[in-house]
Structure 1
Amino acid sequence: MEPYTVPSNTRIGHVHLKVSDLDRAIEFYCGLLGFELVTRYGTQAAFVSAGGYHHHIGLNTWYSKDAPPALQHGVGLFHVAILYPTRKDLAVIFDRLHKAAYPFTGASDHGVSQALYLNDPDNNGIELYWDRPKEEWPLKHDGTIEMYTRPLDLQGLLKELE
């Protein structure tokens, strides 16, 4: 088979998650994270989005109603990454989650981005992040991207709100 490269403007459009309790998932994604409920398919599925898109996140209980949380040590989704447009937007959601006492699993500076990590009520991993401008991405001597994982300065992040 000949080598193939996906087109450079290709994007991941949405994710569809199996959840055990649809109302609880809607409360997390809409009530806490602030996504908009676009539509429900009865009691088994819902689509949520940012900015009126048809859906960024699908939620369903088709095969998972009342199921136990996702296993941490098993195959499947590691996390869904939600990209915020500005560092201030990331600070706003951090402040909101912190005030709600919602538990974080991590907070990292990756050089190219800054990220907050948490799990949804079904133990699906969630990354909330902001990308630094491409011209600020650190590079190795050979010109490739230098990504790393360092602690995120959360107090510095909160200064975005001043």
Structure 2
Amino acid sequence: MTDPASYRPRPTRLGHLVLKVRDIDRSLAFYTEVVGLSVSDWIDHHMVFLRAGEDHHDLALLQLPPGHSAIPEGHYPAVEHFSYRLETLAEMEQVAAMLVARGITIDRGIGKHGPGANSFLVFRDPDGNNVEFYTDMTQITAEQPYEASVWDGKDLETFDRWHLDRFLVPPPARILALLDKDGDA
């Protein structure tokens, strides 16, 4: 059997970017009115998914917590993660085995998001940046129209339709808090 650490992923393209923003409404107006993107979905009034083409999203805006209203001197908004598309879930599982074998920190996943229906695996690069591999994102075309909706950020299905069954690491604190609140953990 081949050593999992020697596996080399084959991403097919840069996928999407998630930006942390100070004022989601102001940023949404900018990206729809100035850049020309369309809204695909929301999670509460906390995160909005935008698209330029057929992918459910190629940009998402994530509202920063209160207190981040001004740009501090020398500081700029942060990227939550950027992603690369893989062609199959089987390849994602091979990547996961490689990450574990190499001792690379996995942040979350393997899971399947509600908005966009894409599977995901998020891990950290040497500088602590979140990198995501994803597969199977919803495609929105003239032949396959899509109506934007608002997903409930307190529903586990919004975060992971597989209910953490394929997760390789404990879920983020905000998801653990949801589970504790519902008595599922």
TM-score category of the 2 structures, normalised to the smaller one: 0.3 to 0.5
TM-score (norm 1): 0.42
Q: Which has the bigger relative contact order, CA under 8 A and spacing at least 6?
A: 2
**TM-score, normalisation: structure 2:** 0.37
